Amino acid sequence: MNPDAIIIFSAGVMPLETGGWRTTTYDESDGFGTMGGRDRVEAAALLAKQYSNAYVVTTCQRMDYVLPTLASTYAEELHALGVPNERIIKEEISVNTGTSVQQVLLIAQEKGWKHLLFVSSEFQLPRIEAFYEQEKSDIKATMVSSESVLIKHDPAFAERFEEVKKTLEYQKRLAAEARGVAAVKSGTYRPAPIEDKKER
């Protein structure tokens, strides 16, 4: 079944020297390790070409409530990669992964969507799935790692990703995500303070 919508989970943004903002990359980190972000945009743009009837939903405002929202920056980059604006929906209410899952499911329910692709960096997918399972939604969501999409498009990316996975910041992120998944499943999860989420 082809998806009704492709959902991109946000990482962070960095200011451009020329003004404006861009999505973060594997080379940037927050208090929990490497961030990723641009990989998700590129993967979603490829999926949008594959599933030409699907909407593409970008998620999240910024935790400090400064404009532009994460959703807006991700939408701009998607458009620059060829995704028409009329196919992009900006979800600008959520502030973290858990609320992003809730908000996109609400949008899907309002629009009558039955099948979603949840796109993010590989390390984040288990936590996204844990939040999704908590919602007990009838809407089907398939987890898709940005890396799997990029490797399929360009096998040379596999070597780049292997190098990323060897970094201390990536290992730090994996450990943080594992703790997060355990906390979600045990009901003890608490969103991280904004100081820890700032891009570095």
Residue 200 above 50 pLDDT?
no
Show Cβ contacts of residue 71 under 8 Å, excluding neighbours closer than 6 positions.
10, 58, 59, 60, 61, 90, 91, 92
Domain 5-190: which CATH class? alpha beta
- Bridge partners (DSSP) listed for residue 33: 30
Query: How far apart, in whole angstroms, are the C-alpha atoms of residue 39 and residue 147?
Result: 7
38-57 pLDDT, tens digit each: 999 999 999 999 999 999 99
Total Cβ atoms within 10 A of residue 77? 23
Residue 22 above 70 pLDDT?
yes
Q: Is it true that the peptide bond before 191 is cis, omega within 30 degrees of 0?
A: no
62-96 pLDDT, tens digit each: 767 677 999 999 999 999 999 999 999 999 999 99
Residue 6 above 70 pLDDT?
yes
What letter represents residue 86's amino acid?
A: E
Q: Where are the beta strands (DSSP E) in the chain?
A: 5-8, 13-15, 21-23, 29-30, 33-34, 55-59, 88-91, 115-120, 140-145
Average pLDDT over residues 88-112: 97
pTM of the model: 0.94
141-195 pLDDT, tens digit each: 999 999 999 999 999 999 999 999 999 999 999 999 999 999 999 999 988 765 5
- Bridge partners (DSSP) listed for residue 88: 56
CB 4 within 8 A of CB 54: yes
pLDDT at 78: 98
